[in-house]
Structure 1
Amino acid sequence: MAVSISHVSFEHHRPAFGIGETTPRISWRFGGTAVDWEQTGYDLEIKRGPDGVPKVFNVDSSDSILVPWPDEPLGSAESASVRARAHGKDGQPSADWSDTYTVETGLLRSEDWAGAIPIAADRDTEVDAAHQPILFRKAFDVNSTVTSARLYITAFGLYVAEINGKRVGDHVLAPGYQAYNFRHVYDTYDVTDLIQGGANVLGATVGEGCKPRNLYGDTLGLQSLLVITAQDGSKQTIKSDLDWHANTGPIITSNIYDGELYDATKEIKGWSSPGLNESSWLGVKELSPPAGVSIVSPDGPPIKRTEEVKIKEIFQSKSGKTIIDFGQNLVGWLKVTVNGPAGTNISFVHAEVMDNGEIGTRPLRTAKATDTLILSGNTTKTWEPSFTFHGFRYVQVTGWPSTTPLDADSVTAVVVHSDMERTGYFECSHELLSKFHENVIWGLKGNFLSVPTDCPQRDERLGWTGDAHAFMPTSNYLYDTSGFWRGWLKDASFEQFRNGLNIPPVYIPSDDPSDTERDRVRFPTAIWGDVVVGNPYALYQSTGDKVMLNDQFPGAQAWIDKGIPRNENGLWDRSKTQFGDWLDPKAPPEDAGAATTSKSLVADAYLIQMTRLLSELSAALNKPDLATQYATQRETLIKAFQAAWITPYPIIANETQTALALALHFDLYTDAAARATASSTLRSIIANNTYLVGTGFAGTQQLGFALTDINATSDFYKMLLQTTVPSWLYQVSMGGTTTWERWDSMLPDGNVNPGEMTSFNHYAFGSVADWVHQKVGGLAIGEPGWKTVKVAPEPGGGITWAKARYLSPYGEVRSSWTVGDDGFRLEVSVPPNAKAEVTLPGRNETETVGSGTRSFFVEGYKIPG
């Protein structure tokens, strides 16, 4: 009976380096096959600094996630080594000491920056035009033996840092995208191995990156502090100040919509290495950052290169253009290796699909999505853009020189996204459903770049809140999103409370720092605004993090109490703008909001559900009076909803999939007979629609759960496995490799939907994977933080086997089932210190089991339907 500690972590960081918490909570995962193992106590050994004496703290507790830091708070730029040991119940073995893990804080106070100031090139900035990236350079000498070196750096723009000609770290598009008029993230790097005795140079390239421009001011700038610790303990600091030099270089323009123009003839050889003559370089000036902005350590993981995709095919378009097909719609850029004559101009136009035999650029709207490389002719050039990214499967190449073959050795696609840990997996006997699940994963990877973007290819790429609200439970299963959402929700709080409006904008961060009024970005609307309730709730469910929940609770409460404009019955004010069931399948191409369900009905239903969630959050935070208050308020709102939308009608005002799914899943029918009638009506509507989808953003996530609530899971299997439009697997049958914005982003005849908003990488409809994980895979959260897991697969649709596994805060949970001639077989694995509530199909009873692997069998079971 073995048990071990497989991983130790701090707060939500991966890794815990340069963090902002001085008393970081500690978590550990378990490994091993111990049966019914439960922790009764733990030991934490903490060693401060390289020469510190280890201290051991003994705690009697069953907690193993987010336990309190037991020692004195860490100071600025202080590191500690930590390992954990856990003790079982009487007669059970202990989990021996884990490996040692390091936690290190960043710069915690403004004075810790040691006088480092934001600097800009001493030149006039471009006015209402693209800002050319700037090279910053600082030469310095090191005359001692170096034991450690840390670089703390951020930019007013995006940066790439170098020391002595070598790139610092592996972050890209750093420091990411935040609400820059509230918080500005800096990054911390261990650069010990890059510092050399004698002459050194710290360099950084700062580019514009974003668009619209000037989110963080109208001038590109840099702020950095390099701290070098010598063997004798003395420290040398190299700070951004007026002694730096600046210049322009080979990147002429670069932003996320238009792409990058790189002119290799303008490269400055050795610009970030010692020995360069700086006489032709510009001086620098102090840059005044936006007032009131805090420079803070990051919450979420940085964006990184995560993989490379090889060329699948090279072919000619109808007009004879050269097209590269990577076989996968992805997000990132190209890595190009080429040799050609000086002045050779190569362009790369990126797009997601082919349209009428040519690369499909119309869905990009105004985004050019074009990278251009001009060769110097001196040598073979390997190049990647620095401050842009694209959503693409296809690339049109013009100007490629005959001196280098265009093949898989010369061009690859680099995939980038926030560097989250993969946690959730699913596969089953239905090949198209398994492929759809892979598409959902690619959709997530393509849209989790510092913020949860709606799409990665056109002139938008914003953190739309409605999309994030719908998809969050799915994302929390597939990846450890805790740090990612933590940072974004902090921005949500700031944006919501800016100028006391209590209203979150419809995308976060807002793309206009001067926006202080309720304009097109900042107005109250259901589902999108509800993100400040729904997303903290979902994050709490997956992490059990009450500190996060307590931080986000004021925003959730303010939205329900003050942000939502109400009518005389407490429901939504009917005069307010609503997106409603956005992209209902029957919405015409030119009007994505023209749904078959009343926008106000949708808004009211979500208001009642958000009020329920707020009551539950209040209870979780030990606020019983508030929990009762919101529970009572919900009951009052249900009566008002019934009076407005149910009682005057035979069943409900709109007999649609969305209206009935919301009313059923949100428990808005309180009369059993009315609920039964609504249930049968929903099933009839679906059957009469030949089991095709009839929901948009509002209804899709809820539809499967509503049908399961009314014992109609078999109906949802019929919907889930359809392959004609509108359906989830239609996208797969049409060759899609990510999830689409519209049910028919590509029409059955192969043409692109004529609607202005037509994306092939939009994750909202991928939210159905939450139902797939729970009902097909059989894994669901039973207790916040996965302390208890619900294992309750509901086979259907002719699927004969499915496997799901999830790397929970306690360790890996697995469910694997098959249906054969003799019946149903299930194998469940539960990590130490956790439990599972197992419900077998066709049986009403639930069995609670502890850790270990167990097998279950239902003799003679047949798949329903």
Structure 2
Amino acid sequence: MFTVPWTLYQSYGDKRALAENYPAMQRYAAFLRTIEDRNGIVGGGLGDWMSTAGTMPRNTETAFYAHDLKLMAEIAEILGKAGDARRYAAGAVRVAAAYDRAFYDRAAGRYRPASQGAQALPLALGLVAPADETAVRQALIDTIRHPTLKPDRDGLFGPILPDHIAAGDVATTYVWRSLGDMRRSDLVDRMILQPTMPSYWNMVANGLTAIPEAWNYPISRSWNHDMYAGIVEWFYRSVGGLAPAAPGYARITVAPVPPPGMAQAETRYDSVRGPIVSNWRREGERFTLDVEVPPNSRAEVLLPVPAAARITESGRPLVGAHVVAGGTMIEIGSGRYSFVAVDDRRTR
């Protein structure tokens, strides 16, 4: 109801998807207000269905309720509805505060329950207070590396194991997104390649050619289910590093995070403005990133290399770059670029 029009706008820069769906979004936002409990929490649906760690419907649905109101505020502002924007922004703040009171354990520095989904959803949806972000990010890592919960429904949906995914239809995408935002491609790489259930590689190794409904796939009713396909986003946003920084890809982020052991990756997205390319390869201490930016777009490129690396672009010393957390950043315009970084300290 909210996410699809917003994603279409972000992808194509066309406000019509927002304007045409705005009345329906208004009606649904009003409906959600009518089913709040006295604490401002909603629930009663499937929640994070098929999660091995529990479906947590109140947590899942209230997180999205707060996020939906936040999107409504932004959409109203874009459509020139200032009064609506103020009202929805206030509602988003109110529901986010209710969510925080209900589920955040400040002493423990994590959300309840101690599951991957309970940490990833507020991180990815922007519900975590800035002062708490470091703690919640660590809590997400801890729930992956050292899980403490027992499998839900006596393990019907699958086991909970260290370094394995333990989220369901809804939260799995946000686990990958949160880890990508944290630049922890190493953890995602480890989780998706586990030979044991639950993992994508376990499905492939057992002959599956499409994604089923459940990580414990023998119980699946659907054998071509798109709910766990959010891993594709991780390949584009993290391995390739491509993401829109403005609607319609007027501005682009190119910030690849190469997983350990991966020697190269080629990523292309055919945007409304033309192809966007991020191709990288590692050869010893040499890192090469080839980028293509379409006409009428600009890009911020983050090279994941040490500050001491010697960097060239198309054979010339790189100028205009600056060191930031995670590497070296430079802004570029339309065209094709070839960045090469060599860490001289490790080649001497």
Match of 1:583 in 2: 50
Structure-2 separation of matches of 1:561 and 1:649: 34
Which one of 323, 326, 336 corresponds to residue 853 of structure 1? 336
- 1:260-275 counterparts in 2 under 5 A? none
| Structure-2 separation of matches of 1:583 and 1:677 | 27
Contact 1:821 1:860 in 2 (8 A): no
Question: Which of the numbers 250, 271, 278 marks the counterpart of 1:787?
Answer: 250
Q: One-letter code of the match for 1:582?
A: W
CA contact (8 A) 2:41 2:58 kept: no
1:648-663 to structure 2, matched below 5 A, reads 650=108, 651-663=110-122
C-alpha distance in 2, partners of 1:690/1:605? Answer: 26
User: In structure 2, what is the Cα distance between the partners aligned to 1:771 and 1:856?
Assistant: 23
Distance in 2, matches of 1:734 and 1:551, equals: 44
Report the secondary structure of 2:261's partner residue.
coil
Q: For the residues of structure 2 that align with 1:624 and 1:771, how far apart are their CA atoms?
A: 35
The 8 Å contact of residues 280 and 290 in structure 2, kept in 1 or not, is answered as yes
C-alpha distance in structure 2 between counterparts of 1:815 and 1:861, whole Å: 24
Deviation at 1:550, TM superposition (A): 0.3
CA distance in 1, matches of 2:88, 2:222: 39
1:569 matches 2:27: no
**Alpha-carbon separation, structure 2, partners of 1:711 and 1:839:** 12
Listed as ranges, the matches of 1:606-617 within 5 Å are 606-617=64-75
Would you say the 8 A contact 2:55–2:168 is kept in 1? no
Which one of the candidate residues 22, 25, 37 is aligned to 1:556?
A: 25
Give distance in 1, aligned partners of 2:257 and 2:21.
35
Q: Distance in 1 between matches of 2:180 and 2:226?
A: 23
AA in 1 matched with 2:50:
L
More strand by share: 1
How far, CA to CA, are the matches of 1:677 and 1:835 in structure 2?
34
Question: Is the counterpart of residue 712 in structure 1 residue 177 in structure 2?
Answer: no
Shift of residue 700, structure 1, vs aligned partner: 0.7
Cα distance change, pair 605–777 in 1 and its aligned pair in 2 (3 A): same
Alignment map for 1:612-627 (pairs within 5 Å) = 612-627=70-85
Pairing of 1:159-558 with structure 2 (within 5 A):
532-558=1-27
Query: Partners in 2 of 1:597 and 1:764 — Cα distance?
Result: 14
Amino acid at match of 2:278: S
So what's the TM-score if we normalise by structure 1?
0.34
Say if 1:634 and 1:793 are closer, same or farther in 2 by CA, change over 3 A: same
How far does residue 697 in structure 1 lie from its aligned partner after superposition? Answer: 1.1
**Which whole-Å CA distance do the structure 1 matches of 2:105 and 2:243 have between them?**
35
Say if 2:286 is the partner of 1:823.
yes
Preserved contact between residue 39 and residue 98 of structure 2 (Cα < 8 Å): yes
**Alpha-carbon distance between aligned partners in 2 of 1:699 and 1:667, rounded to the nearest angstrom:** 14
Structure 2 CA distance, aligned partners of 1:653 and 1:795?
Answer: 32
Contact 1:597 1:658 in 2 (8 A): no
Give 5+ residue unaligned stretches, structure 2: 147-160, 306-322
Secondary structure of the structure 2 residue equivalent to 1:560:
helix
* Residue 861 to residue 732, structure 1, CA distance change in 2 (3 Å): farther
Q: For the Cα contact (< 8 Å) 1:597–1:659, is it kept in 2?
A: no
Amino acid corresponding to residue 765 of structure 1 in structure 2: Y
Q: CA, structure 1 residues 671+837, in 2 after alignment: closer, same or farther (shift >3 Å)? A: closer
The offset of 1:765, in angstroms, is 0.5
Point out the structure with the larger helix share: 2
Give the superposition deviation at 1:803. 0.4
Q: Distance in 2 between matches of 1:789 and 1:671?
A: 25
Partner residue, 1:729: 201
Q: TM-score, normalised by structure 2?
A: 0.82
CA contact (8 A) 2:180 2:234 kept: no
Q: Residues 721 and 797 of structure 1 are in contact (CA less than 8 Å); yes or no, is this contact kept in structure 2? A: no
CA RMSD, Structure 1 to Structure 2 (Å) = 2.2
> In the alignment, is the contact (CA less than 8 A) between 1:826 and 1:857 conserved in 2?
yes
2:315 is aligned to none
Is residue 639 from structure 1 mapped to residue 97 from structure 2 by the alignment? yes
1:630 aligns with 2:88: yes
- 1:697 aligned counterpart, secondary structure: coil
**What SS class does the counterpart of residue 2 from structure 2 fall into?**
helix
Identity of aligned residues (%): 30
Query: Residue 223 of structure 2 is aligned with which of 760, 777, 787?
Result: 760
In structure 1, C-alpha distance between the alignment counterparts of 2:192 and 2:87, rounded to whole Å: 39
Report the alpha carbon displacement of residue 773 of structure 1 after superposing the two structures with TM.
Answer: 0.8
Q: Quick one: distance in 2 between partners of 1:637 and 1:840? A: 38
Rg larger in 1 or in 2?
1
CA shift for structure 1 position 548: 2.1
- Give the AA of the match of 2:342: E
